[in-house]
Amino acid sequence: MAGIFGIALRGLGMLGKGKKVSKTINSVKPNVPKTKLEKAKSKLAIAKQKTKGSKAKLDQTVFEISQKSKGK
C-alpha cells in the first residue's frame, strides 16, 4: 500500500516540472589576508569598526545624561 502511494506521489511530482528553483549558496571563501599589506588593511578596517562602535556608545551615553538633566 505504502509503495503504491509513493509511486503515485512521484508521478504527480513529474507533472509539475515547470517550477524554477533558485540556486543555493554552496560555500563562501574566507577572507584570509596573506601579504603584509592585506593584513594591515584588515587590521585598519577592524580598528575603524571598533571606533565606530565606541563612538556610538559614547554618543548614546551623552544623550542619556542630557535627557536626565532635562528631567525626562
Region of poorest pLDDT, from 5-9, 41-45, 59-63: 5-9
Look at the pTM and tell me if it is higher than 0.85.
no
Please give the span between the terminal C-alpha atoms of the chain, in angstroms, as a whole number. 72
Q: How far apart are CA 40 and CA 31, in angstroms?
A: 13
Q: How far apart are CA 62 and CA 55, in angstroms?
A: 10
Is 7 a residue whose pLDDT tops 90? Answer: no
- pLDDT mean over 61-71: 93
